[in-house]
């Protein structure tokens, strides 16, 4: 597999090493597993580069012994060849089995950290963000962490190690001209792959943008299913969604066609390099300075090296995409929490339940004040109805009381306690709310009834139903 046609988002400029460094703390929980996985990776590569050497000795034995002595081929050589091939795969699989806990735990910790942080952000952040795009940022960021950990550590690094080992073996076994040839070929291959991949990013980025747009439209339409039905706009929504899909289709076509250019160029470089190396080796075999086994070894090394390099365009682009996705994920963590408990804040103590708004000022946007100097006292046990036109600030009063936002000036108190001086959890635990729009989680009726007290017993849930 040399390329990949899935839409990704590749950032401009150089790789952001700060993002890579920020992942290191997530690996600290299983240091032992990490080092063991790296050790197994080394063993796998060592076995892999030894396979062509074993093959060389086998071929040389056949050449020297002649047809009549084939039965005398040392069994140890054949067994060693088979074992080396097995260990090259086995140690790699064992490495993945050891590392999987490290990668999965890192993804879990990052996902949980982002999820908890999003719940700490103020309501305004969530009202201004599109749910579909936000969920895709989280999903892609977590997937990016997994990809980066696996491919950066177990593809790019071991491939570089293998190239150096093979170059050294060729230098010792068949001379510097082969080492230089293979290094030049790999250099050209890498340069071509990186340059074409950078050029392709415009199509990849466009495909990703169109994917986001069409997904956001679909989610938005389905979330507002009832409104769509009220106005009979099913056809309008379908046509709007299809326009997004058409743009995505065009972007993906460009992406795939540019992928063909990348893969074809890589194949040409590989074929040219192998041809040059084989011509050089054949000449040496003809003049007796190399054995037939050396020629087979050189060919095996060329094929063996370019197999992992076939992934280079895909891996390089995916690493860039993963870094961009992780950066957006960590960007969510960098969103400031505007409504915070002060250090050492006590819990709210509800004695009677008197609520007071004292010279409260608030605005969502600097140019549009919503509440200006309101004074309101609701004694314990009283009922108060707030009426007014749309946009007058009725819902804002309840949001301020719940402390979804903090007031700009003045204060809100419950039994004389400024709600900014107590913990948000204790404040919200003391307030019951029946929202205007009934919102249900995609779970059982019992789950939704008990949501305010998840530890409620089935008997308590049934009693709540009876009382309702």
pLDDT value, residue 3: 43
What is the sign of the dihedral through the CA atoms of 128, 133, 135 and 140? Answer: negative
The residue written with tokens 């409620």 in the block is 456
Q: Tell whether pTM > 0.75.
A: no
User: Using alpha carbons only, what angle is made at residue 84 by residues 78 and 89, rounded to the nearest 5 degrees?
Assistant: 135
The alpha carbons of the chain give a radius of gyration, in whole angstroms, of 33
pLDDT value, residue 4: 40
Pick from 363, 375, 352, 184: nearest CA to 280? 184
- Do 150 and 315 form a contact (C-beta atoms < 8 A)? no
Domains of the chain with bracketed CATH: 17-333 (1.20.1560.10), 355-437 (3.40.50.300)
pLDDT value, residue 6: 37
The residue written with tokens 């080796």 in the block is 281
Task: Tell me the C-alpha distance between 102 and 96, whole Å.
Answer: 10
Element spanning 360, H or E:
strand 355-365
Q: What is the pLDDT of residues 17-67, one digit of tens each?
A: 666 676 777 777 777 888 888 888 888 888 888 888 888 887 777 666 555
- Do 173 and 134 form a contact (C-beta atoms < 8 A)? no
pLDDT value, residue 121: 78
DSSP state of 29: G
The residue written with tokens 């076994």 in the block is 173
From residue 39, alpha-carbon distances to 26, 43, 103, 163, 454 in Å are 20, 6, 17, 18, 46
Task: Tell me the C-alpha distance between 390 and 395, whole Å.
Answer: 9
Q: What is the pLDDT of residues 212-228, one digit of tens each?
A: 788 888 888 888 888 88
- Do 19 and 322 form a contact (C-beta atoms < 8 A)? no
Output the DSSP codes for 68-119: GGGGGS-HHHHHHHHHHHHHHHHHHHHHHHHHHHHHHHHHHHHHHHHHHHHH
Q: Which tokens hold the place of 214?
A: 């069409």
- Do 169 and 53 form a contact (C-beta atoms < 8 A)? yes
Spans of the chain below 70 pLDDT: 1-20, 22, 62-74, 124, 126-133, 153-154, 311-313
pLDDT value, residue 11: 43
What lies within 8 Å, CB to CB, of 7 at 6+ separation is 204, 207, 208, 210, 211, 248, 251, 252, 255
Q: Which tokens hold the place of 312?
A: 């280079």
Scored b (16 or more CB within 10 A) or e, 59-88 reads bbbeeeeeeeeeeeeeeeeeebbeebbebb
pLDDT value, residue 171: 83
Task: Tell me the C-alpha distance between 237 and 243, whole Å.
Answer: 10
- Do 163 and 270 form a contact (C-beta atoms < 8 A)? no
- Do 400 and 361 form a contact (C-beta atoms < 8 A)? no
Order of strands across the sheet that contains 417-418: 368-378, 355-365, 409-414, 417-418
Beta strands in 350-461 (DSSP E): 355-365, 368-378, 409-414, 417-418
- Do 153 and 38 form a contact (C-beta atoms < 8 A)? yes
Task: Tell me the C-alpha distance between 114 and 120, whole Å.
Answer: 10
Q: Which tokens hold the place of 115?
A: 């999820």
Output the DSSP codes for 296-308: HHHHHHHHHHHHH
pLDDT value, residue 422: 92
What lies within 8 Å, CB to CB, of 409 at 6+ separation is 359, 360, 361
Task: Tell me the C-alpha distance between 9 and 202, whole Å.
Answer: 9
pLDDT value, residue 66: 54
- Do 371 and 361 form a contact (C-beta atoms < 8 A)? yes
Task: Tell me the C-alpha distance between 88 and 285, whole Å.
Answer: 29
């Amino acid at each position: 597999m040399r390329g990949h046609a899935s839409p990704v988002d590749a950032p401009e400029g150089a790789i952001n090493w700060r993002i890579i460094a920020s992942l290191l703390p997530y690996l600290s929980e299983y240091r032992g597993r990490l080092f063991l996985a790296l050790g197994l990776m080394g063993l796998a590569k060592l076995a892999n580069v030894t396979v062509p050497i074993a093959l060389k000795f086998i071929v040389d034995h056949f050449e020297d012994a002649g047809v009549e002595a084939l039965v005398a081929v040392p069994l140890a050589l054949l067994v060693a060849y088979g074992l080396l091939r097995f260990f090259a795969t086995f140690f790699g699989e064992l490495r993945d089995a050891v590392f999987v806990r490290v990668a999965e735990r890192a993804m879990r910790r990052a996902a949980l950290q982002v999820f908890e942080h999003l719940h700490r952000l103020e309501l305004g952040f969530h009202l201004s963000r599109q749910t579909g795009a936000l969920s895709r940022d989280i999903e892609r960021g977590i997937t990016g962490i997994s990809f980066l950990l696996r491919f950066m550590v177990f593809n790019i690094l071991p491939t570089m190690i293998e190239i150096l080992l093979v170059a050294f073996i060729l230098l010792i076994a068949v001379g510097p001209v082969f080492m230089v040839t293979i290094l030049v070929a790999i250099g050209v291959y890498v340069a071509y792959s990186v340059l074409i991949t950078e050029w392709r990013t415009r199509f990849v980025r466009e495909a990703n943008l169109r994917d986001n747009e069409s997904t956001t439209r679909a989610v938005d339409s389905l979330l507002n299913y009832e409104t769509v039905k009220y106005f009979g706009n099913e056809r309008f929504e379908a046509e709007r969604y299809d326009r997004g899909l058409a743009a995505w289709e065009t972007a993906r076509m460009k992406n795939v066609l540019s992928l063909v250019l990348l893969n074809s160029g890589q194949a040409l470089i590989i074929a040219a390099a192998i041809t040059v190396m084989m011509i050089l080796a054949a000449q040496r075999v003809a003049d007796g300075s190399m054995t037939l086994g050396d020629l087979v070894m050189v060919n095996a090394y060329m094929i063996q090296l370019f197999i992992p390099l076939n992934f280079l365009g895909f891996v390089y682009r995916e690493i860039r995409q993963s870094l961009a996705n992780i950066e957006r994920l960590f960007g969510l963590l960098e969103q400031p929490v505007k409504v915070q408990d002060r250090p050492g804040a006590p819990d709210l103590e509800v004695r009677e339940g008197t609520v007071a708004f004292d010279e409260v000022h608030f605005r969502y946007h600097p140019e549009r004040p919503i509440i200006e100097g309101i004074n309101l006292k609701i004694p314990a046990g009283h009922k108060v109805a707030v009426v007014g036109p749309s946009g007058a600030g009725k819902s804002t009063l309840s949001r301020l009381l719940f402390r979804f936002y903090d007031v700009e000036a003045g204060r809100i108190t419950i039994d004389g306690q400024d709600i900014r001086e107590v913990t948000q959890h204790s404040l919200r635990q003391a307030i019951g709310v029946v929202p205007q729009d009934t919102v249900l989680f995609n779970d059982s009726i019992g789950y939704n009834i008990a949501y305010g007290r998840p530890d409620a017993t089935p008997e308590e849930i049934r009693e709540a139903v009876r009382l309702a």
